[in-house]
């Protein structure tokens, strides 16, 4: 009897402990976000507390100040998504399908971007591009093309890894079945393999878009006066102003990403993709 | 409907880097025949099937359909319906789209596809589930979709790769019967691969027993069962007891394990030999009964319902399995563990093989 009771108490404590952890997590993530939203409506030139009043004027000012760089970031992110998917998806299919010498080495190499800080990659890429421009007489350094290429370089490994993960449960026999039913090799990939990878590809696209849109480390070295990304222009703005504008931009950016996720969630359950 | 095809395998072989998976397999399959490739895992049966399907290239030999070699055709031009062990349905397509896939690949006009798909749905009795996705179906239903998908393209050959192994035991027998009836009514030449001899016996017109990449015997069920070509077949089909030793004066087998066994028949020749006797051919008698061939001690007596199984140790290293009817008026006596018993069987129940594993015929023909 007493034993049963103590079991119940233990179970209750366990549940309590668990929900406590969950709430601590929610608070840790949520409070900074809420504070940012709060700061973004201060009617003050500097961030002082308590504010004189509240205003939405900072949001109205975002367009003129950050619009151009946001547009560049958007172009950059979309181009990175397209480029890295075009490279990474076929690579993922190939790596999952064929066992050849060096598969292990390639898989390890695909983890490399994780181990090298962005800023180091940025410096290295910058030096490389400058050298290339010198040798070839090209003008990639500081151009949008250079930025896009470098982003594709760091995001493609992620795409490959996500595609490989997406193919883990894929039954190769389905491809053989399609072939036996008269599907030529390209048709097999189009009608069987790619649909099987759909979730991995969507997850990869999302990931590339967000990480490319928010990237600072590479952009620090690779942007130039004409080509400035949103994170860079926020960074530069912060050097001279500490006002609620920065909070407003951050909130706008979060809202944008949230909207993107919500739209995607309408088409497929994201919780099933990101596991 | 297309005419049923004749399939010939001509000394078909497949070597991988480190081993020979299939060695000189030759087989003639008559139009409309159902052949089962049977053997333990790693015997080369699946490799043979994959070569027929075109997923693996043969190292040597030939595969012909109606006399024409198909070795140079890629899988997508061989026109074979394949049912995979995992069914391999397309998870993102509905039942209808799965079944219509092959016709879609042939660019058939959509009214023709629709007509054929509904014919197939009727055939496998899945009309009610046509809009479902594969993951919303039970194993047996998925199996039917796979079969319908394979048959929809009017294949020259139907290839079944362990088609029943993922089903519940209760469903398996039904499905085996269903596939068999369907295959027969359509008259489609079929090759099936399995490691399960009951399944093989239930479905085949003829069986091909394989071991170590080689064909051991190609025969009908009765011939395999009653006249196994070698000890492996005897053991694999009917789970025969196998006893090895030296043949002495034509009617004794001095076992390697120690005890001598009297043989029911008389044989010419001497030297190494092995004897195969099926568990259900052996009768248990009290010791001292006339005609006793060997005696032993009951080690285990298991009641399995329809049958009673005794394990009788006749030598320290050799135990014999004996199965007898467990129910009815002729139900066998159950002998308690430790009882001394005598074993006997008739000449037609024993299969003797010489040192080269060839069957040895008895001198006089036993009259039943």
Query: For residues B178 and B206, is the Cβ–Cβ distance under 8 A?
Result: no
Mean pLDDT of all residues in B240-269 = 84
The whole-angstrom separation of Cα B183 and Cα B163 is 14
The pLDDT assigned to B1 comes to 47
Mean pLDDT of all residues in A254-268 = 80
Q: How confident is the model at residue A9 (pLDDT cuts 50, 70, 90)?
A: confident
Residues in a beta bridge with B272: B246
Interface list for chain B against chain A, based on CB atoms closer than 8 Å: 53-55, 74-82, 84-86, 88-92, 101-102, 105-106, 146, 149-150, 153
> Is residue B318 classed as helix, strand or coil in its secondary structure?
strand
Yes or no, beta carbons of B74 and A198 under 8 Å apart: no
Yes or no, beta carbons of A183 and B55 under 8 Å apart: no
Chain B positions touching A196 (Cβ under 8 A) are: 91-92
The pLDDT assigned to A268 comes to 64
Summarised one tens digit per residue, pLDDT across range A115-138 is: 888 888 889 889 998 998 888 888
Yes or no, beta carbons of B88 and A173 under 8 Å apart: yes
Most confident of A103-107, B68-72, B199-203, B321-325: B68-72
Inform me whether the pLDDT recorded for B215 exceeds 90.
yes
Q: Is some CB atom of chain B closer than 8 A to the CB atom of A183?
A: yes
Sequence-distant (≥ 6) Cβ neighbours of residue A214 within 8 angstroms: A231, A253
- Alpha-carbon distance B149 to nearest alpha carbon in chain A (angstroms): 8
Mutate which of B91, B142, B156 to disrupt the A interface (most A C-beta within 10 Å)?
Answer: B91
The pLDDT assigned to A3 comes to 60
Closest to B334 in 3D by CA, of B314, B313, B310: B310
Summarised one tens digit per residue, pLDDT across range A161-186 is: 888 888 888 888 999 999 999 999 99
Q: Is some CB atom of chain B closer than 8 A to the CB atom of A149?
A: no
Yes or no, beta carbons of A177 and B153 under 8 Å apart: no
Mean pLDDT of all residues in B329-354 = 87
Summarised one tens digit per residue, pLDDT across range B53-111 is: 999 999 999 999 999 999 999 999 999 999 999 999 999 999 999 999 999 999 999 99
Chain B residue closest in CA terms to A175:
B88
Summarised one tens digit per residue, pLDDT across range B48-61 is: 999 999 999 999 99
Inform me whether the pLDDT recorded for B367 exceeds 50.
no
The whole-angstrom separation of Cα B33 and Cα B6 is 9
Summarised one tens digit per residue, pLDDT across range B160-200 is: 999 888 888 888 888 888 889 889 888 999 999 999 888 89
Yes or no, beta carbons of B82 and A171 under 8 Å apart: no
Summarised one tens digit per residue, pLDDT across range A234-248 is: 888 888 888 888 888
Mean pLDDT of chain A: 85
The pLDDT assigned to B366 comes to 43
Sequence-distant (≥ 6) Cβ neighbours of residue B122 within 8 angstroms: none
The pLDDT assigned to A269 comes to 61
Summarised one tens digit per residue, pLDDT across range A63-87 is: 888 888 889 999 999 999 999 999 9
The pLDDT assigned to A2 comes to 58
The pLDDT assigned to B334 comes to 86
CA-to-CA separations, B291 to B266, B275, B284, B288, B297, in angstroms, rounded: 14, 18, 11, 9, 18
Pairing of strands B190-194, B206-211: unpaired
Most confident of A257-271, B281-295, B307-321: B307-321
Summarised one tens digit per residue, pLDDT across range A31-53 is: 988 988 888 888 878 777 787 88
Nearest by CB to B92, from A171, A187, A195: name it.
A195
Inform me whether the pLDDT recorded for A272 exceeds 70.
no
ipTM exceeds 0.90, yes or no: no
Nearest by CB to A177, from B54, B82, B106: name it.
B82
Yes or no, beta carbons of B76 and A198 under 8 Å apart: no
Mean pLDDT of all residues in A93-111 = 81
Chain A positions touching B102 (Cβ under 8 A) are: 181-182
Token pair for A52: 């004189």
Inform me whether the pLDDT recorded for B13 exceeds 90.
yes
Chain B positions touching A183 (Cβ under 8 A) are: 76, 101, 105
Q: How confident is the model at residue A270 (pLDDT cuts 50, 70, 90)?
A: low
Residues in a beta bridge with B246: B254, B272
Yes or no, beta carbons of A191 and B90 under 8 Å apart: yes
Mean pLDDT of all residues in B224-232 = 90
- pTM, to two decimals: 0.80
Q: How confident is the model at residue B364 (pLDDT cuts 50, 70, 90)?
A: low
Inform me whether the pLDDT recorded for A226 exceeds 90.
no
Chain B positions touching A174 (Cβ under 8 A) are: 88-91
The pLDDT assigned to A239 comes to 86
Q: Is some CB atom of chain B closer than 8 A to the CB atom of A97?
A: no
Inform me whether the pLDDT recorded for B339 exceeds 60.
yes
Cis before A195? omega within 30: no
């Amino acid at each position: 009897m007493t034993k049963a009771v103590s079991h119940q108490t233990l179970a209750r404590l366990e549940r309590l402990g668990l929900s406590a952890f969950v709430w601590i997590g929610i608070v840790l993530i949520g409070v900074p976000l809420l504070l940012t939203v709060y700061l973004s409506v201060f009617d003050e030139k500097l961030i002082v507390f308590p504010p004189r009043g509240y205003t939405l004027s900072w949001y109205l000012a975002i367009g003129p100040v950050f619009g151009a760089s946001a547009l560049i970031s958007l172009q950059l992110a979309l181009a990175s998504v397209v480029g890295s998917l075009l490279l990474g998806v076929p690579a993922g299919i190939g790596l999952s399908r064929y066992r050849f010498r060096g598969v292990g080495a390639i898989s390890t190499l695909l983890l490399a971007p994780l181990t090298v800080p962005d800023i180091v990659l940025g410096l290295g890429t910058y030096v490389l591009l400058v050298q290339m421009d010198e040798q070839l007489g090209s003008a990639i350094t500081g151009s949008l093309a250079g930025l896009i290429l470098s982003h594709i370089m760091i995001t493609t490994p992620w795409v490959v890894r996500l595609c490989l993960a997406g193919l883990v449960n894929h039954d190769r026999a389905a491809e053989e079945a399609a072939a036996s039913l008269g599907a030529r090799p390209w048709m097999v990939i189009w009608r069987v393999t790619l649909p099987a990878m759909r979730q991995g590809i969507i997850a990869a696209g999302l990931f590339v878009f967000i990480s490319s849109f928010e990237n600072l480390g590479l952009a620090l070295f690779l942007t130039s006066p004409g080509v400035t990304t949103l994170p860079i222009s926020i960074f530069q703005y912060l050097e001279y102003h500490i006002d609620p504008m920065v909070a407003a931009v951050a909130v706008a950016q979060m809202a944008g990403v949230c909207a993107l996720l919500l739209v995607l969630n309408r088409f497929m359950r994201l919780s099933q993709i990101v596991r | 409907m297309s005419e049923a095809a004749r399939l010939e395998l001509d000394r078909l072989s497949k070597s991988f880097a480190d081993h020979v998976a299939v060695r000189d397999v030759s087989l003639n399959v008559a139009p409309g025949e159902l052949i089962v490739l049977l053997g333990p895992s790693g015997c080369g049966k699946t490799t043979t099937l994959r070569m027929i399907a075109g997923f693996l290239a043969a190292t040597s030999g030939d595969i012909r359909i109606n006399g024409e070699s198909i070795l140079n055709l890629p899988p997508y031009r061989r026109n074979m319906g394949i049912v995979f062990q995992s069914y391999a349905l397309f998870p993102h397509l509905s039942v209808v789209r799965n079944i219509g896939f092959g016709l879609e690949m042939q660019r058939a006009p959509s009214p023709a596809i629709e007509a054929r798909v509904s014919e197939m749905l009727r055939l496998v009795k899945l009309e009610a589930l046509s809009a479902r996705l594969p993951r919303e179906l039970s194993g047996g239903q998925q199996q039917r979709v796979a079969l319908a998908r394979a048959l929809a393209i009017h294949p020259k050959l139907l290839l079944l790769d362990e088609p029943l192994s993922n089903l519940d035991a209760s469903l398996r027998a039904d499905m085996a019967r269903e596939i068999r009836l369907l295959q027969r009514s359509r008259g489609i030449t079929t090759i099936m691969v399995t490691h399960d001899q009951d399944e093989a016996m239930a479905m085949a017109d003829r069986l091909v027993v394989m071991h170590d990449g080689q064909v051991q015997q190609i025969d009908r069920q009765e011939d395999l069962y009653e006249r196994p070509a070698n000890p492996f077949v005897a053991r694999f089909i009917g789970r025969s007891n196998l006893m090895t030793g030296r043949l002495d004066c034509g009617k004794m087998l001095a076992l390697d394990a120690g005890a001598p066994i009297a043989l029911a028949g008389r044989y010419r020749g001497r030297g190494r030999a092995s004897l195969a006797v099926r568990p259900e051919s052996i009768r248990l008698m009290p010791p001292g009964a006339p005609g006793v061939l060997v005696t032993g001690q009951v080690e285990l007596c298991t009641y399995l319902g329809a049958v009673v199984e005794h394990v009788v140790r006749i030598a320290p290293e050799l135990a014999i399995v004996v199965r007898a009817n467990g129910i009815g008026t002729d139900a066998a006596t159950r002998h308690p563990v430790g009882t001394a018993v005598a074993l006997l069987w008739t000449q037609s129940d024993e299969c003797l093989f010489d040192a080269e594993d060839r069957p040895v015929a008895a001198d006089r023909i036993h009259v039943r």
